[in-house]
Chains A and B, each alone.
Chain A
Amino acid sequence: SQQGEEDPQALSIQEGENATMNCSYKTSINNLQWYRQNSGRGLVHLILIRSNEREKHSGRLRVTLDTSKKSSSLLITASRAADTASYFCATDRIQGAQKLVFGQGTRLTINP
């Protein structure tokens, strides 16, 4: 079963604009991760945020986590054409087996 749900399912913006993707989940988590997948390729890890953290930065990426709302957001600033990809959130639940469960993803298109 899917734990995370990304919103929107698809997003198209102009190069240079900021892109925001959201992720909601259902159960308590140890951590939440964001991954990128270029077309026809494997997933690449972007950032991990632990349940006791509220915000994390990595280059042009900013991730927030609100455990009270069971939601996270990924912000990509000053987008580039190379950012065109699908973005997935994944959660590592506290209870049960420590497995990473992925959402359905957001397809991001950056128009030059």
Chain B
Amino acid sequence: EAGVAQSPRYKIIEKRQSVAFWCNPISGHATLYWYQQILGQGPKLLIQFQNNGVVDDSQLPKDRFSAERLKGVDSTLKIQPAKLEDSAVYLCASTRGLGGELFFGEGSRLTVL
């Protein structure tokens, strides 16, 4: 079965610009996660979807970050405007239901100059 797909793999932007990341989870996986991983740190959960509803977005900086999950399948994470501290790898993961093993994509590496 195909894995979690993410794009773009790399993005370089200047501060105050906007950027969007796309994720296509494994077919049939109801739960989708976006994590932010700063270099040298563990992944930090930004937002969790169950189908197309938000389960948890308590650590999402809502003044600049937004995310949606279209029709309970694909998801887009947007940052507008970007700050230097947003430089990180943005990881998408999916799983069939709540709990259990997460399947991760390769991530989208963002550099903000």
Q: Give chain A's interface residues, CB within 8 Å of chain B.
A: 2, 4, 30-31, 33, 35, 41-45, 48, 88, 90, 92, 97-105
Contacts and interface: CB of A to CB of B under 8 A. Distances in A.
Nearest to B105: A42
Nearest to A103: B42
Interface of B: 4, 33, 35, 41-45, 48, 55-56, 58, 91, 93, 98-107
Contact of B91 (A31, A43, A45, A101): A43
Contacts of A102: 35, 42-44
Contacts of B48: 97, 99
A43 B99 contact: no
Given A30-B99, A99-B56, A102-B43, 18 more contacts: A2-B44, A41-B106, A42-B4, A43-B43, A43-B91, A43-B102, A45-B101, A88-B43, A98-B98, A99-B33, A99-B45, A99-B55, A100-B45, A100-B102, A104-B41, A104-B42, A105-B41, A105-B42
Contacts of B44: 2, 102
5 contacts: A31-B99, A42-B107, A43-B104, A90-B102, A104-B42
